[in-house]
């Protein structure tokens, strides 16, 4: 039987590594172009006085950061982003998990389920915003029409024209759109859980609640944390629903960070300040996401 000389095998290893790096190079290049370069550019712009027509007009150091943190709009918009993102993500996760558990018990095949729950995800956010805005309308809107049927002569509810109803309405629409995403991921995770563990729990006399608490939940917890992270990131980025449904109003009550950055850059044309707002916003998102990511890593290591 032929054998490979150690010298030949040693020569092949560097060559194999070079081939591997060659295949990875396009992916690294794409990441550099799509993510790294824009981030570096944003950081540089945040330290300059820039507008759409005059990029890097003057180096101003930390002046943009001082300006945006003291303008009375940026910091409250960060708070509104938290007020929107956290309830939206938690509600979508909890509702999605309950539906996924129900489907896991009732449905053996997930094919039909996946098709049904893909439909809301296929609805463009702009279209969803327009449809729900019409439903929330004070005159002729579905919900106020139902209110008139239940309580004739009642004053219409200004779902999008009063606070905190406007923010709650946007959260409702966002949850409606993203619950299917949570259902699909969690249902897939539940379908892959080992049946032997549940059989052992039944043999030990564990009831439904004990099985869920001590078997199902611990096994699916890493997926729950992952879905929560993804949903938080999506919620922090919300723009289209705010733009379509409320335009940041009433007043500034639904002006979240992404919408505030848009107004600063494309309505006030202060690109430098918008870049500074973006950096501050990224810091906030990082503070929220990194602990969750670390917790997920610990869960994965504990499960190995």
Q: Do 117 and 186 contact (CB within 8 A), yes or no?
A: no
For the entire predicted model, the pTM comes to 0.86
Average pLDDT for 260-270: 94
Convert the pLDDT of each residue in 188-238 to its tens digit: 899 888 888 888 888 887 788 888 888 889 999 999 999 999 999 999 999
What mean pLDDT is reported for the chain?
A: 88
| Architecture in CATH of 73-303 | Orthogonal Bundle (1.10)
Convert the pLDDT of each residue in 44-55 to its tens digit: 999 998 887 777
pLDDT for residue 12: 54
pLDDT for residue 7: 53
Convert the pLDDT of each residue in 1-51 to its tens digit: 455 555 555 545 566 677 878 878 888 888 888 888 888 999 999 999 888
């Amino acid at each position: 039987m032929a054998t490979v000389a150690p010298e030949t095998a040693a020569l092949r290893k560097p060559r194999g590594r070079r081939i591997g790096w060659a295949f990875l190079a396009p992916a690294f290049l794409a990441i550099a172009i799509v993510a790294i370069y824009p981030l570096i550019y944003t950081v540089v712009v945040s330290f300059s006085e820039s507008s759409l027509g005059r990029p890097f007009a003057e180096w101003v150091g930390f002046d943009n950061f001082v300006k945006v943190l003291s303008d009375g709009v940026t910091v409250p918009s960060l708070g509104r982003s938290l007020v929107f993102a956290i309830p939206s993500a938690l509600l979508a996760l909890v509702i999605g998990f309950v539906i996924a558990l129900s489907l896991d018990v009732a449905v053996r095949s997930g094919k039909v389920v996946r098709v049904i729950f893909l439909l809301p995800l296929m609805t463009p956010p702009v279209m969803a915003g327009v449809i729900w805005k019409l439903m929330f309308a004070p005159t002729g809107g579905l919900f106020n029409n139902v209110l008139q049927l239940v309580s004739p002569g009642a004053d219409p509810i200004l779902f999008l024209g009063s606070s905190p109803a406007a923010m709650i309405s946007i959260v409702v629409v966002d949850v409606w759109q993203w619950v299917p995403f949570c259902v699909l991921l969690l249902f897939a995770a539940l379908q892959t859980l080992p049946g032997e563990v549940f059989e052992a729990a039944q043999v030990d006399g564990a009831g439904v609640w004990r099985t869920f608490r001590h078997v199902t939940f611990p096994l699916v917890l890493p997926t729950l944390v992952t879905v929560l992270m993804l949903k938080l990131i999506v919620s922090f980025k919300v723009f289209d629903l705010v733009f379509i449904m409320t335009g940041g109003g009433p007043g500034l009550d639904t002006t979240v960070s992404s919408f505030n950055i848009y107004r600063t850059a494309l309505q006030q044309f202060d690109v430098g300040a918008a870049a500074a707002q973006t950096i501050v916003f990224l810091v906030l998102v990082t503070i929220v996401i990194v602990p969750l990511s670390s917790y997920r890593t610990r869960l994965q290591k504990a499960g190995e």
